[in-house]
């Protein structure tokens, strides 16, 4: 039975899922059905307490694509109303145990939070950004492209494996080197 406390439900949804990667380490894991189940539990915990600024909560990134190996960390996009201050969700997310990881950068269009059950072992990355913004559309468009196109999905999986082998301790290099594949094809 689910615990009524949303923070406890969040932790319960992630326990025993195979998710978790030490910060700074790059590794990919085989695809797992547990990732979709974990997202459903996390979504329930988030949606049950979401403030009115939140318009959508989406599973993004490689763990959202069936059959695709991934860093074993859920990526979740939270779309907020246009004009919402970047820090508007800090209290809500920190109350659920999320740690603020930083604001938008030239590389990332969002305010980012992380969730850890053990120190330094990341299970979830939460990306907060304006709903329907370019960044929002890019995140969902890339996810949907990989879900729909088995050739792209396999090519991206192969690239991730090569880059994880090449950069096992350098997450920034791993991200940089896969960027050209991720960028939207316009």
Split at pLDDT 50, 70, 90, the class of 50 is very high
Does residue 74 lie within any of the structural domains? yes
Cα atoms found within 13 Å of the Cα of residue 130, Cβ hemisphere only: 10
Mean pLDDT for all residues in the chain: 93
Burial of 88 from C-beta contacts in 10 A (0-12 / 13-18 / 19+): middle
- Structural domains in the chain (count): 1
Q: Which residue(s) pair with 29 in the sheet?
A: 70
Helix residue ranges per DSSP H, the chain: 6-14, 33-47, 90-95, 134-148, 150-166, 171-182
Does residue 1 lie within any of the structural domains? no
pLDDT reading at 186 higher than 50: no
| CATH code of the domain containing 130 | 3.30.460.10
Split at pLDDT 50, 70, 90, the class of 114 is very high
Kindly state the tokens that stand for 77. Answer: 């996009």
Strands 111-118 and 99-102: antiparallel
d(CA 103, CA 90): 12
What pLDDT does residue 1 have? 46
Q: Which residue(s) pair with 122 in the sheet?
A: 21, 116
Does residue 149 lie within any of the structural domains? yes
For 38, the domain range is 6-176
């Amino acid at each position: 039975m689910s615990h009524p406390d949303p923070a406890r439900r969040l932790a319960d949804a992630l326990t025993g899922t195979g998710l978790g990667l030490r910060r700074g380490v790059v590794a990919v894991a085989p695809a797992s059905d547990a990732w979709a189940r974990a997202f459903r539990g996390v979504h329930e915990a988030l949606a049950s307490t979401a403030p009115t600024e939140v318009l959508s909560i989406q599973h993004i990134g490689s763990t959202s694509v069936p059959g695709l190996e991934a860093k074993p960390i859920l990526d979740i996009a939270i779309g907020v109303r246009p004009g919402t201050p970047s820090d508007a969700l800090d209290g809500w997310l920190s109350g659920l145990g999320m740690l603020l990881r930083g604001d938008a950068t030239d590389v990332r269009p969002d305010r980012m939070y992380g969730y850890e059950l053990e120190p330094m072992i990341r299970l979830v990355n939460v990306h907060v950004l304006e709903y329907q913004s370019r960044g929002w559309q890019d995140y969902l468009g890339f996810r949907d492209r990989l879900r729909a196109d088995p050739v792209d999905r396999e090519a991206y999986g192969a690239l991730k494996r090569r880059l994880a082998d090449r950069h096992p301790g350098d997450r920034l290099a791993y991200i940089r080197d896969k960027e050209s594949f991720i960028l939207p094809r316009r």
